[in-house]
Amino acid sequence: MLKKLVGVHIERKKKTKYLNIETMEPVEYIKIPLYRDLKEIVNIGEYVKKGQELAKGEQTPSLHSSISGVVENILIGNVERDNYTKLIVIKNDFEENTLETHYYEAEDDIMKFFDTDKFFEYIKEKGIIGMGGGAYPTYMKLKSAYEKKVHTLVINGCECEPYLNCDNRLMQEKTKEIVEGINILTTILDIKNIVIALEDDKKEAFLEFKKIIKNYPRISVKLLKKIYPLGEERILIKEIFRMEIAKDELPLNRGYLVQNVATIYAIYEALFNGKGTIERVITIAGEGIEENKNLKVKIGTPLKDIINYLGINERLKKIVIGGPMTGKTVYDYNNVYVQKNYGGFLFLSKEEINDRKTEACIYCGTCVDKCPMGLLPLRFEELTNAKEVEELKLIRIEDCIECGVCTYVCPSNRPLLETIVIGKKMVREVGKSDK
């Protein structure tokens, strides 16, 4: 019998749940970091249009300019914490001079143009990555799904992290576009069965989808009981289809492709409007910022400009990129720029963060009881601290999905996830040197 999903119930979404998406005013400079194998294809002093390709990679999806203006600099800079990488700096001319791109008016038109290889290349060229946080190149995942002949597409609209509502708003305000994106994607990949999955606090989005999918018999929409971390791929599949996928097996190998809803919207924009991923919706929330919003922001917008736009206050204690469970703490907001996989910026007050003292483990077992993957977080911590890499492997530290539930529930406030991330890295390093 399948085990009931364990996890935690955390609210804190109400403040931004009913706020419509607003577009942020343009800023003077954008700064776009180049990661992995991306190489710039523009030069200092060159004029670029909005939507123009700035950088390309062998493997990594392209980067595009989200404004028109002049490439003022290409330099090695600090991005987030201790992360030095190349940055393209563009000065805005505020003309919104946009590159003309080919786009398709209807599904028939798209189907005539694309064979699957061309389609994957196009998705790469338009810079689409997993926008739910993972940042995995979408073309690679779709190609793999096609080769493995997957039968089911699950659209992940759970957005289970507290505070975040960017996907929720997108699903309500761009429902038709998302459904059209799903339809064309599954026609190209020949996927027969589609389920849009939402947590049951998103009834408004559920009803919008219900209206639109009447004309799409292959698509269904399902409300699932809200619990964190429902959005993890294996957990989501288990909750929808009541079947378990082994921890060391990929859902794709069992015929399931899971895509985040914002990624589907990016695919729609690329196909029907010829757009690269140059902007995204992010949730700005917390008591430390004057206004909470769901904001459409250009990729490369400096966080300090968002702060100037909305105004921080004296209650601010901590800034987080993403959600509070899996997000990254910001140590210097001068080095942070909006990237494609950022779903939010949280400006948290003392009351909103956990600043309790760390105490010794009392062996209460709560972290074990609440781990959704059935793992042993407290042993991971002990073995990581003792550098027992072989033992860590044996008790499958690599199966940890880094959801942060163990840290959240620990009465002694142990930094379990932080230590687990170190432990996983140690296991990977040993794995590499064994090869």
Site residues for ligand SF4 per CB under 6 A: 361-367, 371-373, 375, 377-378, 400-406, 410-412, 414, 416-417, 420
Q: Which residue reads 């199966």 in tokens?
A: 399
Check: CB of residue 216 under 8 Å from CB of residue 176: no
Q: Which is nearer to ligand SF4, 42 or 395 (CB)?
A: 395
* Nearest distance from C-beta of residue 428 to ligand SF4, angstroms: 15
Q: Which is nearer to ligand SF4, 259 or 407 (CB)?
A: 407
Q: Which is nearer to ligand SF4, 6 or 207 (CB)?
A: 6
The CA distance from 110 to 187, in Å, is 10
* Nearest distance from C-beta of residue 258 to ligand SF4, angstroms: 17
Q: Which is nearer to ligand SF4, 319 or 400 (CB)?
A: 400
What's at 353, amino acid-wise? I
What's at 112, amino acid-wise? K
Check: CB of residue 370 under 8 Å from CB of residue 381: no
* Nearest distance from C-beta of residue 402 to ligand SF4, angstroms: 5
The total number of residues shown for the chain amounts to: 435
* Nearest distance from C-beta of residue 157 to ligand SF4, angstroms: 21
Q: Which is nearer to ligand SF4, 312 or 368 (CB)?
A: 368
Check: CB of residue 316 under 8 Å from CB of residue 307: no
Angle subtended at Cα 286 by Cα 67 and Cα 202, rounded to the nearest 5 degrees? 85
In this structure, what token pair is assigned to residue 339? Answer: 């990237």
* Nearest distance from C-beta of residue 125 to ligand SF4, angstroms: 35
* Nearest distance from C-beta of residue 129 to ligand SF4, angstroms: 23
**What HEC string does the chain produce?**
CCCCCCCECCCCCHHHHCCCEEECCCCCEEEEEECCCCEECCCCCCEECECCEEEECCCCCCEECCCCEEEEEEEEEECCCCCEEEEEEEEECCCCCECCCCCCCCHHHHHHHCCHHHHHHHHHHCCCECCCCCCCEHHHHHHHHHHCCCCEEEEECCCCCCCCCHHHHHHHHCHHHHHHHHHHHHHHHCCCEEEEEEECCCHHHHHHHHHHHHHCCCEEEEEECCCECCCCHHHHHHHHHCCCCCCCCCHHHHCEEEEEHHHHHHHHHHHHHCCCCCEEEEEEECCCECCCEEEEEECCCEHHHHHHHHCECCCEEEEEECCCCCCEEECCHHHCECCCCCCEEEEEEHHHCCCCCCCCCCCCCHHHHHCCCCCCHHHHHHHHHCCCHHHHHHCCHHHCCCCCHHHHHCCCCCCHHHHHHHHHHHHHHHHHHHC
Q: Which is nearer to ligand SF4, 349 or 413 (CB)?
A: 413
* Nearest distance from C-beta of residue 427 to ligand SF4, angstroms: 13
Q: Which is nearer to ligand SF4, 64 or 234 (CB)?
A: 234
Q: Which is nearer to ligand SF4, 184 or 420 (CB)?
A: 420
* Nearest distance from C-beta of residue 198 to ligand SF4, angstroms: 22
The CA distance from 156 to 217, in Å, is 19
In this structure, what token pair is assigned to residue 430? Answer: 């040993």
* Nearest distance from C-beta of residue 250 to ligand SF4, angstroms: 17
Cis ω on the peptide bond leading into residue 61 (within 30° of 0)? no
* Nearest distance from C-beta of residue 368 to ligand SF4, angstroms: 7
Q: Which is nearer to ligand SF4, 365 or 431 (CB)?
A: 365
Q: Which is nearer to ligand SF4, 411 or 431 (CB)?
A: 411
* Nearest distance from C-beta of residue 423 to ligand SF4, angstroms: 10
Q: Which is nearer to ligand SF4, 154 or 410 (CB)?
A: 410
